[in-house]
Structure 1
Amino acid sequence: MAATQFVERHRGALTVALLALALAGAGAWIQRSLDRRPLVVQPGAATAPAVGSIRVHVAGAVANPGVYTLNAGDRVAEAIAAAGGTAQGADADSLNLAARLKDESRVVVPTARPTASAAKTPALPTASGQVGPINLNSAGQGELEKLPGIGPVTAAKIVEHRSKYGPFKSIDDLSKAQLVSASTLERIRPLVVVR
């Protein structure tokens, strides 16, 4: 009789507990049945080509540096071709032309490194073939790399800064924009002008 009295006294609480237990069991059963659903693989889904387009920044020794829209899965060679191909003096052999590109990639085509004797020459030939100081506001990456202490990365940063923020107002702008160190600036000061 004690059990019957207990059930009668706590009938509401026992009903709620049994209902909660039933719901928990149903939830576990549903979750387990969802995990056992067969995985359907459509034929060819794994080998389908990448769909969509990507945006790639092509810089350095190319005919037309800029941002280009390419097909997803394109390679470095397609990015360079989209930029009009390599410029004279480009060192495309240092790049992996078969590498696949991803969205927001940046491809920098370097120029061939100048010889040590060319880097020490105070009067450097410009794009027009004239010998004289290099104009920071019109020099290409290849010309900038001929300056002592300026490699492909720094030259690309100078060209990029110029295209983003406009022409340099003075030679000291290179240091103010943290593009070159103070010692490099002093080495190239007699070799460059701002016009």
Structure 2
Amino acid sequence: MRALVEAAQKPGFPASIELVLSNRADAAGLAYAADAGIATAVLPHGDYESREAFEAALDATLREAGIELICLAGFMRLLSDEFVEGWRNRVINIHPSLLPSFRGLRTHERALATGVRVHGATVHYVRAEMDDGPIIVQGAVPVLDEDTAESLAARVLEAEHRIYPLALSWVAGRKARVVAEKVILEGLPTPEDSVLIVPSDVPQADAPQN
């Protein structure tokens, strides 16, 4: 979330962060947003008698604030088919793996256990299925022989901080559109430059070769 806020504060960025909303009052991002002068809201899901009631309040709060695009960041509740369809192609999410591999939790541990040589993060449009939807951008990092789940997670997080603002700029700037459940990027550099990103602090000799 902080990476998105910092990106949106730069001149010429095609989106502004108007509201930070959480279902947890102790979410650290709320204090950061308030300090940055951004409106905040808390909707504890336990205060509602049903998932439908919670999502109705969520929907109403977002629409009353004039929100046009939702960026999920650490929001650990699955959204219903009805909510997702009501905001179709206006909700994006980041996941710490190269989807469709390693949906769900503990992605770094699972990547190491499987022995993949490339891992990373994905920004995608949200669909009703968990960690599913058209892929906007992916950031890839090599898996090193000496990696632990913690070291791999730290390197993937660097990629996340680069690709989420990038994806938001494309979506908000109308350079990404969904056609037949695939994302078409328009007016952007070649795919080699714009889609596969390896953090700059990783030696190129260790990077995957195309």
Normalising by structure 2, we get a TM-score of 0.27
Greater share of residues in helix:
1
Whose RCO is larger (CA < 8 A, sep 6+)? 2
Normalising by structure 1, we get a TM-score of 0.28
Greater C-alpha radius of gyration: 1
